[in-house]
Amino acid sequence: MQVTLKNFTKTFDDTTVIDSMNLAVNDGEMLALLGPSGCGKSTTLFAICGIHRINGGQILFGDRDVSDVPSQKRNVGVVFQNYALYPHLTVFENIAFPLSVRGDSKPDIEREVRAIAALTHIEELLARRPAQLSGGQQQRVALARALVRKPDVLLLDEPLANLDAKLRLEMRSEIRRIQLETGITAILVTHDQVEAMSMCDRIAIMNKGEILQIATPTDMYRAPVNKFVAGFLGNPPIVMLEGRTSGDGRFLVKEGTSLPLPARLAGMPGDTPLSLGVRPEHFGAAGANRVEGTISFVEPQGRETLFDVTLDDGVVLRSIQPARDDVVFGQKVVWPLDAEKLLAFDVSGRAV
């Protein structure tokens, strides 16, 4: 089921949180709403499921306008951040609740619950109560309950935020598997770029109530539309250097260092203020240009090692490389910089 937001506007009292936003989620797609806290991503989610009434615009499920349809009739499955399982009911009764409210017959309920429990791998937990489950199991139950009445849309509100690191990894692929197996249209709200990139077909990145860019994870990482997107995606984060073009295909950092510009920008007139973004993987690995500096920080991460390199004038570049221990703190290094991969942004923050 395709979900469309048209000029969706939401205000709380006098503050406009979201001002005429447009968004289309394709049928069977999993889309991430990614952004820092307070950017309006959860508000959008709650508007789609009907918990928040919208102040303007339209919400369409397929061709059906659901803007004024109450939550109960929207047929949306929601997984909340704290799972919101009903503590006084067993897992079976939790999952059966949406069906029993709908008035399904006992055998039907039994069959549907068993089927969805098999899909989410919780068959052996059906007799337990939520308090007797681990975080990951609670998550599976919440997912099963959201999916059991075959909703048109599945909404996930920071579903992994309450899990520890290892479970998070496991549930990430589990949620994706279940989404793909059911072919349901899903919207995931998260502030974690790794979750968004690893689980979703497309990402809509939001800031201050606005969608900045909608793209596949790879496209968004490679070609962010502006500085905010570039800074939000990528871990360790991108390094931003402020400076001006020199006019002959080079870039002068405020502090003095001269770096090459990518070939596509070589023709830029001189003295244009720019921000140059250097991702850590594009420094120290390959490239035609050499940059000299002193290692000022080493962070071994097991498979990789993260270095900070301070150039002579104080500019700090970050580099991530396959684990190596031949370089130590304080050592002088000359490392290659892949100029073609650099990202450039104009004064307003837009990519150039």
Query: Is 97 a binder of other proteins (CB under 8 A)?
Result: yes
Q: What is the three-class DSSP state of 98?
A: helix
In the complex, the smallest distance separating the C-beta of residue 86 from other proteins, rounded to whole angstroms, is 5
How far is Cα 324 from Cα 352, in angstroms, rounded to an integer?
35
Given a contact cutoff of 8 angstroms between Cβ atoms, the answer to whether 210 and 36 are in contact is no
Query: Is 221 a binder of other proteins (CB under 8 A)?
Result: no
- Helix or strand (DSSP H, E) at 259: strand 258-260
Query: Is 68 a binder of other proteins (CB under 8 A)?
Result: no
In the complex, the smallest distance separating the C-beta of residue 126 from other proteins, rounded to whole angstroms, is 17
Instruction: Give every CB contact of residue 108 below 8 A, 6+ residues apart in sequence.
Output: 99
Query: Is 86 a binder of other proteins (CB under 8 A)?
Result: yes
* End-to-end CA gap in the chain: 36
In the complex, the smallest distance separating the C-beta of residue 244 from other proteins, rounded to whole angstroms, is 51
Query: Is 76 a binder of other proteins (CB under 8 A)?
Result: yes
Q: Is the peptide bond before 236 cis (omega within 30 degrees of 0)?
A: yes
Query: Is 48 a binder of other proteins (CB under 8 A)?
Result: no
User: Which residue number, 91 or 317, has a Cβ lying nearer to other proteins?
Assistant: 91
Query: Is 102 a binder of other proteins (CB under 8 A)?
Result: yes
How far is Cα 342 from Cα 338, in angstroms, rounded to an integer?
7
Determine how many CB atoms are found less than 10 A away from the CB of residue 223.
Answer: 13
Q: Site for other proteins (CB under 8 A): how many residues?
A: 25
Hey, what are 100's tokens? 């029993």
* Residue from 101, 118, 347, 352 in contact with other proteins (CB under 8 A): 101
Among the candidate windows 48-56, 159-167, 287-295, 322-330, which touches other proteins by CB under 8 A? 48-56
Instruction: Give every CB contact of residue 200 below 8 A, 6+ residues apart in sequence.
Output: 30, 31, 32, 188, 217
Backbone dihedral region of 75: left (phi > 0), alpha (psi from -120 to 50 degrees) or beta?
Answer: left
* Residue from 24, 69, 84, 253 in contact with other proteins (CB under 8 A): 84
Given a contact cutoff of 8 angstroms between Cβ atoms, the answer to whether 335 and 278 are in contact is no
Among the candidate windows 57-65, 82-90, 200-208, 266-274, which touches other proteins by CB under 8 A? 82-90
What is the radius of gyration, based on Cα positions, of the chain? 24
Hey, what are 333's tokens? 């290094």
Query: Is 80 a binder of other proteins (CB under 8 A)?
Result: yes
User: Which residue number, 87 or 330, has a Cβ lying nearer to other proteins?
Assistant: 87
In the complex, the smallest distance separating the C-beta of residue 95 from other proteins, rounded to whole angstroms, is 10
User: Which residue number, 135 or 231, has a Cβ lying nearer to other proteins?
Assistant: 135
How far is Cα 60 from Cα 22, in angstroms, rounded to an integer?
11
Query: Is 77 a binder of other proteins (CB under 8 A)?
Result: yes
Query: Is 251 a binder of other proteins (CB under 8 A)?
Result: no
Query: Is 323 a binder of other proteins (CB under 8 A)?
Result: no
Q: What is the three-class DSSP state of 67?
A: coil
User: Which residue number, 163 or 241, has a Cβ lying nearer to other proteins?
Assistant: 163
Among the candidate windows 97-105, 175-183, 271-279, 309-317, which touches other proteins by CB under 8 A? 97-105
Query: Is 98 a binder of other proteins (CB under 8 A)?
Result: yes
Nearest Cα neighbor of 242 from 156, 134, 138, 316 is 316
Q: Which chain residues interact with other proteins by CB under 8 A?
A: 49-51, 71-73, 75-78, 80-84, 86-88, 97-98, 101-102, 145-146, 149
